[in-house]
Amino acid sequence: MLRPCMDCHPDLERVLFTEEEIRAKVAEVAAQISSDYAGREPILVGVLKGSVVFLSDLARQLEIPAQLDFLSITPFVPSADPGVVRIIKDLDHSIEDRDVLLVEDIVDTGLTLRYLLRALGARRPRSLHVCALLDRASRRLADVPIRYRCFEIPDRFLVGYGLDYQQLYRNLPYVGVMKQGVVKSGIFRG
Ligand code: IMP
Ligand code: MG
């Protein structure tokens, strides 16, 4: 699965998923969503900021009408109590009686997602499902349902295509593995 880095960012060890691989997979998932939601008008809920790049590509590949909304949660702090997540920017619109597709960049322990599913589920949407770009199932602590996923990933710290390290690298068009020395010890085990 891993390939040597040719022209990727110097802070990266390898490219894990190229732009072309991501485009093809996102198109596949978008086609599935378009078919599953045919005749409906889902709200795509993006979790800021990591899911923005994925959501904007996914939305443009859909063949059904869709609305977009965003929420923002307290940042990922691995040293803090992982159960503690807080919404710091809420949705602009009600999701009551709507079909909601929660779009996530990466599901790691699943604790963030579990919190979000509970919070959004309490608002009585007609349906609530998850679409994740990356799934690191090996680290799962909370059993969360992921209806659509693009890629399963290994236990290494990844950046690009929306994913950051200290708010950088989000705009790389591919997903890559950070060099061990660049990720400060204690930030992530990978
Ligand atoms: P979870 O609650 O452990 O599932 O954490 C999910 C969140 O952790 C993601 O939305 C990301 O913000 C962050 N995260 C987990 N792994 C990575 C990674 O490899 N790179 C960048 N962010 C990550
Ligand atoms: Mg996220």
Least confident of 72-76, 92-96, 186-190: 186-190
Which pLDDT band holds residue 83 (cuts at 50, 70, 90)? low
- Structure confidence at residue 9 (pLDDT): 92
Tell me the C-alpha distance between 180 and 190, whole Å.
8
Q: Whole-model pTM above 0.75?
A: yes
- Which of the 8 DSSP states describes residue 122? T
- Structure confidence at residue 74 (pLDDT): 85
Q: What distance in angstroms lies between residue 39's CA and the mean position of ligand 1's atoms?
A: 33
Q: What distance in angstroms lies between residue 171's CA and the mean position of ligand 2's atoms?
A: 15
pLDDT of 12 > 80? The answer is: yes
Instruction: Determine if ligand 1 sits within 6 Å of the CB of residue 112.
Output: yes
pLDDT of 190 > 60? The answer is: no
Residues with CB under 5 A from ligand 2 (ion): 47, 50, 105
Tell me the C-alpha distance between 140 and 150, whole Å.
17
The gap between the terminal CA atoms of the chain, to the nearest Å, is: 17
- Structure confidence at residue 187 (pLDDT): 47
Domains of the chain: 18-182 (3.40.50.2020)
- Structure confidence at residue 84 (pLDDT): 73
Nearest CA to ligand 1 atom 16: 108
Instruction: Determine if ligand 1 sits within 6 Å of the CB of residue 125.
Output: no
- Structure confidence at residue 188 (pLDDT): 52
pLDDT of 80 > 50? The answer is: yes
pLDDT digits (tens, 9 = 90+) for 114-128: 999 999 999 999 999
pLDDT digits (tens, 9 = 90+) for 35-64: 999 999 999 999 999 999 999 999 999 999
Instruction: Determine if ligand 1 sits within 6 Å of the CB of residue 160.
Output: no
Residue that wins the pLDDT comparison between 81 and 109: 109
Nearest CA to ligand 1 atom 20: 158
Ligand 1 nearest-atom number relative to CA 190: 19
Q: What distance in angstroms lies between residue 142's CA and the mean position of ligand 2's atoms?
A: 15
Tell me the C-alpha distance between 21 and 61, whole Å.
15
Ligand 1 nearest-atom number relative to CA 47: 10
